[in-house]
Structure 1
Amino acid sequence: MSSFNIDSVRIIGRCFMNFLLRIGNAFVFFIQSLYHCFIPPYYFSNVARQIIEIGFFSLPIVGLTGVFIGAVIVLQSSLSGILINQEQVVPKLVTITIIKELGPVLISLIMVGKVGSSIAAEIGTMRITEQIDALTTLDINPFKYLIVPRILASVIVFPILTVCADLIGIFGGYVTAVFEFNHNLNIYIKYTAQFFNMYDFIVGLMKATAFGAIISVSSCYYGYHCRKGARGVGIATTSTVVISSILIILANYLITLIHA
């Protein structure tokens, strides 16, 4: 019995030490990435390419998501019961909910699956095919060439995508409210403008920036440390999606708590 207890303690201790080691490696990777973001040289062509791939090619899915976010909020508000001054309350719900919460969070969660998994798979494939080692051999810093452009592009693009999602979401709510529930057009526009809060808008952009950094750093980390061939790429991609989603939800709670 005592031997069983000792073995159990060893297993638990080994798992705990491995967990601490992974946390330490992730923290060191984050610090290295942050350091290289502020130190030249910069590969601006790589940054521009990543801005196009992460931002421009994501606009269709961001727009589609934004439209349905606004439409669903209006549908839920109008169908859940009779609201007092519904034409005044619905624009408020749509504007505040999209700008402050649903816009940044939902867009980021969708971008985890589209962008995060793509980055992890791309860098992971470069790792197992020894392309990253080749960069080091050619005296090219992998952090400068691969990691930094993706982080900078994500930090630049995510707030822009969030603004697009906010505007399209509000427009989707407007279309649903006016054409589906016959709300007055002028009243809807008036109360949308009235309840638009610049502070909430800025907080939403801060969230989007933080979420972009989380997705890019985590995806680059798992891709960079990819092992075990093709299976390792799958593990890196899955880990990126899971960890990034958890960190986004946690960061959203903390930022909301700080600015509440």
Structure 2
Amino acid sequence: MLETPFVALGRLVLSAFRQVGSVVLFGLRGLSGLVRPPFYWKIFLSSLVNIGFLSLPVVALTAIFAGGVIALQSYTGFSQYHAQNAIAHIVLLAITRELGPVLAGLMIAGRVGAALSAQIGTMRVTNQIDALATLSTDPIKYLVTPRLLASTLALPLLVLVADILGVFGGFTVSVAKLGFAPDAYITATLSGLKASDVIVGLVKAAVFGFLIALLGCYYGYHSKGGAEGVGAAATATVVGASIMVLIFDYMLTDLFFTG
């Protein structure tokens, strides 16, 4: 007997809720490891270097060129209304509030999320996770908790660097190509700088870092089917983490600036 559209829709909705619930419970188990000794510092520090330091080049390049593009596009529009003086402020707001955390989050989702999923997924399909349980080591606490904390701390640091370099990219393009006076541009940037804008961007980054690591660990931990399953888990992580970054960016923006 063929399913009616309502039955198919209901099954899809229930499956989505079941998946969300499974991810939430997995995340709570990972967070609980923070208050239960021992804490695996070696894995935490290694993950912090991998997620933070080794991601600096891609985040830096993305931020610099994003700042330059914003300056160019703003000049194209604002020059029609003789409002070029607002470009420095627009670049600052766009980078600190939105593009800094969002672009860094998307870059980390592609670079780190897939790597986490592939690493843990490989351990799953080669029975290394089962071996940890056999040795009386909690796999969630050993594999997930340090990575969740490392990603949550690393992404705000990356975004802070991205903010600086993004504003610098806008400054460079504005001065070198658009003819702005360097001292006037710097003065306009400093006058528009607000700690609240930077803090909100860093809060977004911490949330994005947690979500990326959570999905990477979740899909890797539950992968199956050998190499094909590991590849599917990595793909699901990148897609899911990228979507979550954009969804939570909207939700946090609405909470902080219009709520």
The alpha-carbon deviation at position 19 of structure 1 amounts to 3.4
- CA deviation vs aligned residue, 1:12-53 (integer Å, no higher than 9, x gap): 555444434323322211111121123221011111101111
2:188 to 176, 186, 191: 191
Q: Determine the structure 2 residue equivalent to 1:124.
A: 121
Q: Determine the structure 2 residue equivalent to 1:153.
A: 150
1:21 to 15, 18, 25: 18
Alpha carbon RMSD of aligned pairs, Å? Answer: 1.6
**What amino acid sits opposite 2:125 in the alignment?**
I
> CA contact under 8 A between 2:47 and 2:146: conserved in structure 1?
yes
The correspondence of residues 81-230 of structure 1 with structure 2, limited to 5 A, is 82=79, 83-86=81-84, 88-230=85-227
The separation in 2 between residues aligned to 1:249 and 1:105, in whole angstroms, is 7
The alpha-carbon deviation at position 243 of structure 1 amounts to 1.1
Matched, 1:34 2:31: yes
The alpha-carbon deviation at position 5 of structure 1 amounts to 5.1
Q: Determine the structure 2 residue equivalent to 1:53.
A: 50
The separation in 1 between residues aligned to 2:242 and 2:30, in whole angstroms, is 20
Cα 1:78/1:11, change in 2 over 3 Å: closer
The separation in 2 between residues aligned to 1:247 and 1:18, in whole angstroms, is 18
> CA contact under 8 A between 2:65 and 2:169: conserved in structure 1?
yes
Matched, 1:259 2:256: yes
Gaps of 5+ in 2: none
Cα 1:10/1:75, change in 2 over 3 Å: closer
Q: Determine the structure 1 residue equivalent to 2:2.
A: 4
The alpha-carbon deviation at position 195 of structure 1 amounts to 0.5
TM-score normalised by the chain length of structure 1: 0.93
Percent identity between the aligned chains?
Answer: 40
**What amino acid sits opposite 1:90 in the alignment?**
I
SS at match of 1:259: helix
**What amino acid sits opposite 1:4 in the alignment?**
L
SS at match of 1:4: coil
Gaps of 5+ in 1: none
- CA deviation vs aligned residue, 1:86-134 (integer Å, no higher than 9, x gap): 1x21110110110000100011011100000000011001100011111
**What amino acid sits opposite 2:62 in the alignment?**
T
The alpha-carbon deviation at position 143 of structure 1 amounts to 1.4
The alpha-carbon deviation at position 81 of structure 1 amounts to 5.0
- CA deviation vs aligned residue, 1:42-87 (integer Å, no higher than 9, x gap): 011111101111111001111111110110011111233514241x
Equivalent residue pairs, number:
256
The separation in 2 between residues aligned to 1:38 and 1:124, in whole angstroms, is 26
**What amino acid sits opposite 2:133 in the alignment?**
T
Q: Determine the structure 1 residue equivalent to 2:65.
A: 68
Matched, 1:235 2:232: yes
